[in-house]
Amino acid sequence: MRAVTIAAPGGLDRLRIMDRPDPGAPGPREIRVALHGSSLNFHDYLVCSGQSPAADGRVPMADGAGVVEAIGEGVAEFAVGDSVVSCFFPDWQDGPPTIGDFARTPGDGIDGFAQGTVVLPATAFTRAPAGYDAVEAATITTAGLTAWRALVVEGGLKAGDTVLVLGTGGVSIWALQIARAMGATVIATSSSDEKLERARQLGAAHGINYRSQPEWGQQARDWTGGRGVDHVIEVGGPATLGQSLNAVRVGGHISMIGVLTGRGGEVPTGMFLARQVRIGGIIVGSRRHQQDMVRAIDATGIRPVIDRRFSLEDLAEAFRYEESGGHFGKIGVEW
């Protein structure tokens, strides 16, 4: 069975295609899944590039989707032939978050999905959205579910709200699509006018180039008539938080999702208090959240935006493309 593994201490030039033993038949409450697709996330990049070291020989990639080949005793939720998609936190089934690390996250603390076949507990998967191929389905595990939890679960998104999405990566584009499907208005930021035009084609009502308009938070506030936006999908971190606080309305909601500009920095506490804003840290979501999201996708017909697809053998090249920052939406890997 083909698999990609990471040779410690990591680095894109240390990703290897190897043959691994077949995992065999599923045991009680397990399913055997033939995997056909994954998608890239910043977390995967940190692991594969060695910036977040993983165990020697670790199989990377948190996202995985494929088809059930066999079911073990006691599995009633799935049948042979079902299309399924993995869960980022396989041990977080429902309820409030209880996991604060990646010790049991596929592709980090345990083996991930850059391989041909896995045998895992049935509860490590949900059904895939109807009509999605494996790469499309894999985009919901991390990016899609993060956007869903930020807006719907924690943010209480409703029709008529205004959402500000930072950048045009996987989480932000998913947030744009979810917000539009639920009747919200979206403002998008990017350093590329071309990407802003693509965001408008997806339904964004307004775009702000943050290079030519460095006070983009005020620009977003002005566009709302001075009220401010209801939700911010904050993927930048310390260097962008001040602008996000300027953009959000009094009593609004900021979802802290990314740390692209660093892991620490000053917090503008005065503005935070004045806005009376809710800021919540978001790391993906539970299996129940994912099941709810799949039902919403089936009802609304949202399709993920796939920028490019690479083969499993070209995983390192896919990450180098991610490094370039030229992508819009998700980068997929299929086999």
Q: Domain residue spans in the chain?
A: 2-139+304-334, 144-281
The pLDDT of residue 247 is above 80: yes
> What pLDDT score does 65 carry?
99
Could you report the per-residue pLDDT of 111-150, keeping only the tens digit for each? Answer: 999 999 999 999 999 999 999 999 999 999 999 999 999 9
Q: What does the radius of gyration of the chain's CA atoms come to, in whole angstroms?
A: 20
**Angle 272-277-278 from CA coordinates, rounded to 5°:** 120
Tell me the C-alpha distance between 60 and 18, whole Å: 13
Q: What is the mean pLDDT of residues 157-177?
A: 97
Provide the sign of the torsion angle of the four alpha carbons 128, 316, 284, 166, taken in this order.
negative
CA distance 81 to 50: 36
What is the pLDDT at residue 272?
Answer: 78
- 261 pLDDT higher than 60: no
Q: How confident is the model at residue 258 (pLDDT cuts 50, 70, 90)?
A: confident
Q: What pLDDT was estimated at residue 315?
A: 98
* Residue 323 pLDDT: 95
CA distance 254 to 263: 17
CA neighbor of 107 nearest in space, from 65, 53, 56, 47: 47
Provide, for the chain, the percentages of residues in helix, strand and coil under a 3-state DSSP scheme, each rounded to the nearest 5. 30, 25, 40
Reported as a single tens digit per residue, the pLDDT across 195-208 is 999 999 999 999 99
Domain 2-139+304-334 in this protein, CATH class: alpha beta
Give the confidence band of 268 by pLDDT, cuts at 50, 70, 90: confident
Architecture of the CATH domain 144-281: 3-Layer(aba) Sandwich (3.40)
Structure tokens at 273: 């208090």
CA distance 59 to 35: 13
pLDDT value at residue 271? 80
265 pLDDT exceeds 80? no
Distance CA 48, CA 60 (A): 7
Partnered with residue 106 across adjacent β-strands are 110
| pTM greater than 0.85 | yes
Q: Where are the alpha helices (DSSP H) in the chain?
A: 42-48, 134-138, 145-148, 170-181, 193-201, 216-223, 238-247, 269-275, 287-300, 315-324
